[in-house]
Amino acid sequence: MNKRKILVVDDEMDVREFLCDIIDEMGFHAEGSNDGSSAMEKLLYNKYDLYIVDYNMPIMNGDQFITRLKLQEPDAVVVMLTGNSESHVIINIMKLGVYDYILKPIKLKTIEDVVKKAIQHKEQLEQQREMQIKAGRVIQSKIEWNEYKESRTSDKPKITAELIHSLQTNMLQGAGISVAISITEMIDEIKKEDKDGNIVLDKDLIQ
């Protein structure tokens, strides 16, 4: 199983290396960037499960980086680092859509807890996305089946063959029991009986 990748963006080398060491020891894969601009360059070739970003940096600030990151990756999970605990700063940070923030100086226990929870949040987002994809396949299969039932024309065998293939594909991709039911209903609609009472299906319909 591939390790979760975490990008640490901080202009202070000692802080950056400290965080990367902790993350590696936790069993994740950490990479570092010294400002938002170099971090954006990394995003051209890499994708990360979590971003830990300092608020104040040269060249490209933390808020500027997060704004650009969210345009490119709306569901990006971000933890902000800041040495400023003033309420207006914290409010501005949370408005950026970050998952959480950590006040400097950084405590080992704090970073471990926040990273674990942030990765769990990332996993939940992925599970929700997968469920949405599967639900979309089920809905599409039902739409196709309803369209078939409404279009009982002379070219029914051709339409049915295409629909069966589509439903089979969706079921193999994880759409599940709803698609199996649709296939069963379709077979009931198109089945015939021979002179001996055996159920017969057109061979062109079943690939």
Q: What is the pLDDT of residues 43-64, one digit of tens each?
A: 999 999 999 999 999 889 999 9
Q: Within a domain: residue 205? A: no
Domain match, 196 and 149 both: yes
Q: Are strands 29-33 and 50-54 parallel, antiparallel or unpaired?
A: unpaired
How far apart CA 89 and CA 62 sit, in angstroms, is: 12
DSSP-derived 3-state class of residue 168: helix
Number of domains in the chain: 2
At 111-149, the pLDDT tens digits run 999 999 999 999 999 998 888 777 677 677 667 767 766
pTM, 2 dp: 0.67
Neighbours of 109 (CB within 10 A): 8
Residue pair 98/66 in contact by the 8 Å Cβ criterion: yes
- Give the helix/strand (H/E) hosting 159: helix 156-170
Q: Within a domain: residue 100? A: yes
Report the largest interatomic distance among the alpha carbons of the chain, rounded to a whole angstrom. 86
Domain range for residue 40?
5-106
